[in-house]
Structure 1
Amino acid sequence: MPRMRSAKQQLKQYLQSPQWREHLDEITAGGAAHVGPLFSFLLLGPQTMHRAATALGLTTARLAEREPEAARNIIRRFMWHMNEESGNIGWGIPEAFGESLAASPLLAKDFHRVLASYIIDLGRDDNYCDNDLLRRSCYWAIGRLAQARPELCVAARPWLRKGLEDKDVICRGMAAWALGRLPPDLMDAPALRRLADAGHDESCELFDGDRIYEKSVSGLAREALERVVPAGTA
């Protein structure tokens, strides 16, 4: 047991180090043995959580190359944590889900529709995440997958566009950020322009692959709109 605690503490130190990315090969080489500790780090502060999600995603992707069913079981574990019946809130789970699919073509192919389902509100018999705080992470996770595999997220575009009018203002900004990761589409412009002009200065927390940074809701909409309609062309 002391040895296990020591290993977990070492992983935590790696992730909280400024040079954390230099340790990713060592972390992912631990395979299934490191999955549990990385799960527990998803409950830590935003920066450590995102770094743990990155490490867990890469670990899961590497495992998928050798033991695909074991990797699928990790994704199913994410899905269980997102299920209200599990009794969990799911903090950090969408981020880890998105990172795993971004890192693994196999897992992305199998589970990208599940990830998108968390923002699809059909009114009944759906998988929609109705926790506002957690749904913010779902939008981010879809955007993260879109960075790596945009072709798998195009079908989510109408729901991301709908997210620009989400009841939660921060969700609107996260939806705008995710739309900005997809190939430009003029159909996005009207909704993005409305949000850009709304003057929402609430801050969204985003992760740039290393650190947390903040952008305003309307600022993210303006950035996404700029990709669709470059300045001087409208």
Structure 2
Amino acid sequence: MARMRSAKQKLKDAINSPEWRSHLDEITQGGLENVGPLFSFLLLGPQTMHRAAVALGQITARLAETQPEAAKNIIRRLMWHLNEESGNIGWGIPNAFAEILAASAPLAKDFHRILVSYVIDLGHDDNFCDHDILRRSCYWGIGRLAQARPELCLGARKWLLKGLEDQDVICRGMAAWALSQLPPDLMDAPALRRLADAGLEEQCELFDGNIVYEKSVSQIARDALEKLAA
């Protein structure tokens, strides 16, 4: 037991170190043994959560090449955590889901529609995430996948545009950020302009691949408009 705690602490220290990306290959080589601890790190602070999600993405992508069923089981575990019947809130789960799909083309092909479904609100018989705070991560996850595989997120455009009017103000900013990761011709300047001009100073937590930073909802929309104008 002490050995397991020591290994988990070593993994946590590696994730939180300034040179954490230099440890990713070693973490990935740990395979399934590191999956459980990394899942537990998703419940920690935003930066640790995001970095753990990246590491889970790398491990699962490698497993998809050598043990595809084990990789799919990790995806199924994520889906279960986002299911209301699981009794879990699902903190960090959309982030890990997105990092896995960004890292693995085969898994992205099979599961990208599931990730997008968490922001699709049909009013009934849907997979919509109705927990406002968790839904912020769902929008972020779509944006992260769009960075790596934009062609798989084209169908999300309609729902990202709808997200610009989400009941949760921060969700609006996250939807705008996700939309800005799509090709410019898929953005909607008038909708983004309305959000940019709304003066919404609520802060969104974003991750640049290394650190977590904050940006206001309206500033995200303004940044998206600048990309359109470039």
CA distance in 2, matches of 1:9, 1:202: 34
Q: Give a deviation string over 1:14-52, Cα, whole Å, max 9, x none.
A: 011111111000001001111000000000000001000
Name the residue aligned to 1:64: 64
Pairwise CA distance, 1:185? 2.0
Please provide the CA RMSD for this pair.
Answer: 0.9
Q: Give a deviation string over 1:160-196, Cα, whole Å, max 9, x none.
A: 0100000000000000000110001266111111001
Name the residue aligned to 1:130: 130
Name the residue aligned to 1:197: 197
What is the SS of the residue equivalent to 1:185?
A: helix
Name the residue aligned to 1:221: 221
- The gaps in structure 1 that reach 5 residues or longer are none
Native 8 Å contact 1:189 1:229 kept in 2: no
For these two proteins, the number of residue pairs brought into alignment is 230
CA distance in 2, matches of 1:12, 1:226: 38
Correspondences of 1:87-126 after superposition (within 5 Å): 87-126=87-126
Q: Which amino acid aligns with 1:6?
A: S
Name the residue aligned to 1:155: 155
CA distance in 2, matches of 1:198, 1:183: 24
Native 8 Å contact 2:161 2:179 kept in 1: yes
Q: Give a deviation string over 1:62-86, Cα, whole Å, max 9, x none.
A: 1111011110110000000000000
Name the residue aligned to 1:181: 181
User: CA 1:138 to 1:187, structure 2 compared with 1: closer, same or farther past 3 Å?
Assistant: closer
Native 8 Å contact 1:166 1:172 kept in 2: yes
CA distance in 1, matches of 2:56, 2:24: 10
CA distance in 2, matches of 1:169, 1:228: 23
CA distance in 2, matches of 1:186, 1:136: 21
Percent sequence identity over matched residues? Answer: 77
CA distance in 1, matches of 2:95, 2:167: 21
Instruction: State TM-score, norm by structure 2.
Output: 0.98
CA distance in 2, matches of 1:133, 1:102: 22
> Which 4+ residue blocks in structure 1 deviate beyond 2 angstroms?
none
Name the residue aligned to 1:73: 73
1:20 aligns with 2:17: no
Q: Which amino acid aligns with 1:213?
A: Y
1:53 aligns with 2:53: yes
Q: Which amino acid aligns with 2:196?
A: A
- The gaps in structure 2 that reach 5 residues or longer are none
CA distance in 2, matches of 1:46, 1:227: 27
Instruction: State TM-score, norm by structure 1.
Output: 0.97
CA distance in 2, matches of 1:73, 1:22: 27
